[in-house]
Every structure is written in C-alpha cells, then in structure tokens.
Structure 1
Amino acid sequence: MTENRPGDHEKYVKADQPYERDTRYIETRITRDGADGYPVEAGRYRLVVSYACPWANRSIIVRRLLGLEDAISMGVCGPTHDWRSWTFDLDPGGVDPVLGIPRLQDAYFRRIPGYEKGITVPAVVDVPSGAVVTNDFPQITLDFETEWVDFHRDGAPRLYPEDLRREIDEVNAVVYRDVNNGVYRCGFAGSQEAYDDAYDQLFSRLDWLTERLRTQRYLVGDTITEADVRLFTTLARFDPVYHGHFKCNREKLSEMPVLWAYARDLYQTPGFGDCTNFDHIKRHYYQVHRDINPSGIVPKGPDLSNWAEPHGREALGGRPFGDGTPPAPLG
C-alpha cells in the first residue's frame, strides 16, 4: 500500500511508467479437504466486498448465481475509502455486524500484523478468528464453483464445467490482460507511450471479443460461465467510468453493437443486474482516484436506463443456466 499521510489520497499514477498491478495476494484456499487449514464449512466465513470494485463484484455475482448466501455471509464496504482501508460505513455505527470491525484492514492485521500489501476486496474472512483467509480474487470464485458444491442451490449453473475449463482459462487469461486490467493500464498510465500501448491492446481485444460473440451468445459454450462473469463486470463500468475517467474513448460500449447487446443480455439475467450498483461504481472511481480526478466531482451522466432495452441475443440460442434455473428474485 502507498505510504501516505493520514488524509492523503492513494497515488495510482507513477510518472513515466506503465501501470503494474500488485498481484501478491494471500493465496490460502478454502477447500473441501482443508489442505491449507481452512475447510469448507457453512457459516464459518464472511465474504467482504464492495459493489464498486469489479473484482469483488465477480464474487458477489457468483455467490448469488450458485445460491451460497446461506453458507457464506457477506459484508459490504462503502464505495469510497481512504489510504488506510475499505470501511464498513454502510453499517450502523460504521462497524461490520458480524466481524465487529470498522475497517477491513483490521482483519488483514489479525492474519498478518502490519500487513504491508494492498488491503483489497474481495476478501474472505474466517469469522471465529477474525482473520483474512484469502484475497486471491481469481481463485475465490473458482473455489466457490468447485469446492463449495455441497452448498450450491438446487438448479445452480455449472460456471466452471470440467470439459470447458481449458477454454475458459484461455479466454480469461487474455481478457484479464487486455480488458479487465487493460482499462486500468490506460487510466493509470504514467506516459503517453504506455497509454497508447494499453489503449491499442484494449480495443484490439474488444474487437476480438466482438467477432467471437457475433455468432454465439456466451463466451465459452452455450451457457453462462466464469468467463462471462469476469468480462461483464468490466463492461458494466465501461460507459459510466472507463470511457471518460480512464480515457478508454475510441467509442462507448453503447456504440459497440455486439458487446452492448451481450452486456445487456447478462445484465438482464438474474444474478447480474441485481448485483450491479452504478451509484457505488461512479462514486468510487471519481472520488477515490484524486490523482486523475482532483476535484472528486462525480458526473451526473450517462443515462443508464438503456441497460433495460431489449437485446435480441435470444436469437443466437443458448440457455443461460443450462439445465439449471435462475436464482430466486432478491427480497
């Protein structure tokens, strides 16, 4: 984490340098065999998220699609944070009601005193000890899909089916490099050259995705998979944030017909749109990233009501949940 004084904002742009994401995560896993010391156990763990964060948003969506709400509780941080940590400012008294802490960093410090790397969401916390188990966001959702199967709801989709895992992994790798992280490489580029390279790589991959999705409804196979979840959370932030704030402005998502229809198809699928909070998304990026938006002003636009417009992707076939069923409507 950046060494800032209290009240300072974290710095994301380093002059004359390309953006490099810190991927040194706590890689402990929660598995059925408990090999890392943390066995799958309903009610033991709490998923801490923010609806603002695309990496955390993935875990929110997967948890809901699989019906893990009763097995894994969820704590929600507010959309903004300071240099110290994400905070539970949405909860009464600013304290998480299960963990009893005001800041996510308290759970990190319980696991590793003086933890010096990023205090990130999503994080899975062991409730009895109050310590973070893992913040390895790509592995968290994969383990939800493969290790927590005994607690999946009846009719849960197969988001990471064995026969498609190799292809899903291949798609995820290039989408992460060029799109999920590519928008950050544009927004936090410290030089014109770094920005230009990231911009070209981003839109080249979006063009590739357009051709892939022109004749098939989903990224891999004929049902929703982990690959769709990972791409969706970036697309959902594209027009509200990345197009302007991160200078990803060759065109808006709403001006890319295939990807725009694909994104609306997912958004209108239970588990996606109902786990998306555009207000939190906009407030996070524009208020936290003060080195690229010094005023902290949050733009009023764009009008996001167009996410509810018909998408027409049903004509391509496919079944969102395969042989399963959608999750029940949120109460």
Structure 2
Amino acid sequence: MRRLRQADWSRRLVRETAVGVDDLIWPIFVRDGDGEPESVPSMPGVFRLSVEGCVDAARRARDLGIPVLALFPYTDASKRDEGGSEALNPANLVCTASRAIKAAVPDVGILCDVALDPYTSHGHDGLLVGDRILNDETVDMLCRQAVVQAEAGCDIIGPSDMMDGRVACIRAALDAAGHRDTLIMSYAAKYASAFYGPFRDAVGSGSMLKGDKRTYQMDYGNRDEAIREAAQDIAEGADMIMVKPGMPYLDVVARLAGELGVPTFAYQTSGEYAMIMAAAQNGWLDGDRAMMESLGAFKRAGAAGVLSYFSPKAAEALRRR
C-alpha cells in the first residue's frame, strides 16, 4: 500500500476525492453604511461589509472562480421588530446588496437566506406568540420574503427556518411571481447546535435570542429524522439540500448524499471556522492544512459543495497548487 504513497505525484494520481474551487460557496455579511469592513471578533478574518464591499467581494469571487456568494444581513436593532417586517422590505440590506452585485458582477451566483431571525427583535426564525413559534403564519412571511429576494436578483433561495411545509409554499410563491428558474437549496437537516454562536454575533441576533430553537431545529441525536426532513423537502420542490452544521454531522451528509440522489451541501458553520482559526492563531495546529483537510472531509462524505468562511482563502490555496 505504501508504494502509492511515496511521492506527491502518485498520491495525487490515486486520490479518490479532491476539493475544487467549484465546490465553494462563500458566506458574507452585509451591513448598513459605507467605510471600512467591520471585524467580527468571534470569527477572525471575517468582516461585515458595506454594500460596495459586497460588490468588491463578488469581484474577488469571480476572479478566484468561486461560483456563489451567500448573503446575510447585520440588521440594526432599530429595524427589528416582533414580526420581522424588515425581511419584506425590497430595500433591505440583502436586497440592496443583491441588486448591486448583479449589476456589477452578473456571473456570480447569489444565495439568500430565508428566515426571520436576522429581522426579529426576539432572535427567532419565525413569528413568536408567547414562547411558541407559529408555523403556518411564519411560512406565509417566508414566501413573501423569498419573492422579494428573487425580485432583487437572488438566484438560490435558502430556507433555513425549519418550518414544516415551507419549501412547497415557497416554490408555489416563486412560480406564481414568475421566478420559475429560481433555485431552492433547503436547509433540510439543520440541527439545534452550539456551533452557531459566532454567526449570531455576526448578524447581531445573539444577544436578542429569547430561549432556544429546539422546537423547530433538529435534535442532534437524530439521523433517521434527517432523511425524513430531506425527503419531504425534495418532494416539495427543493433542487438541493443542505446539512448544518457540517463536520459534526458528516454521517448525516454521507447518508443523505448516498440515499437521496440530489445535490447535498454542507455548511461549515461559524463555530467550526472559529475553532480552527483560534487553534491556528495559538499555534496549536497548522491552520492552512486543517482548512483544506476539513473541506476534503465534506467531499469525501459525498457533499456536492460546502458553504465555508474559508472559501476565498481556500480558493487562493487551490490556485497556488
């Protein structure tokens, strides 16, 4: 067995899976105003960008060959309310950034998150009454949000809310509004996870969250449930599915990719990114090697691609190779 491992060229020749730039989706955070990027303390090397900064990121993605940007808003508390009404504003940050990117860099795809947590004053993904999330009333809001995003130029709608039945309703709403070609990448298996903390800081919802999200996000002890969730979303019209978080759930990625026959993506979450970056900054591991090894794990598990904050850095590393 070692004969095949003795040289770089032979290792590359027989490698079973490899990460390419086409596998990468780059999540970025958009903020109000102009000026320099704002750092996210819990995510070293990640910044909140102005709309113009998002356009610059799109140009960088195009030059590196990254196919898709995923947009997430840092919504000021003054624009948040109980019902998340800013999600329906055609001039909100995500929509404004989408239009600007499509005007300047039309050949880069845009993925937009569909959920209310960046816009609600309570930090939940849906409409809240007491301590109960309303399913159907939230789905109605999500359908309207998806149409607003598609009209702003979004190419892929990413429902991350985990409400029941939302994919079918969003597909019907998009079709009725003339957006039949808009794709849906469902967060089909999104777990109630401790790995989302830095992301919530980045979008400004961490300190606002009341309670937790375990009544609608999945229990981390369950795998068969992920099959049922994903199969339902596919039946309702999802073009692609996603598992989130990523590395702690590689068994789920592998099972969905192997059994369901649709493109399956993994989200390397903010917590996963922060752990690698923190260890690298402390000299406890080689950050670049850990980055590429972690991305390779997703591909080995069967993922069609990965949403990762490492995307531009990984793309540059792949170019150097």
**Which TM bucket (shorter chain)?**
0.3 to 0.5
Q: TM-score, normalised by structure 1?
A: 0.32
Identify the structure with the greater helix proportion: 2
Structure with bigger strand share is: 2
Taking CA–CA contacts closer than 8 Å with sequence separation of 6 or more, which of the two structures ends up with the larger relative contact order?
Answer: 1
* TM-score, length basis structure 2: 0.32
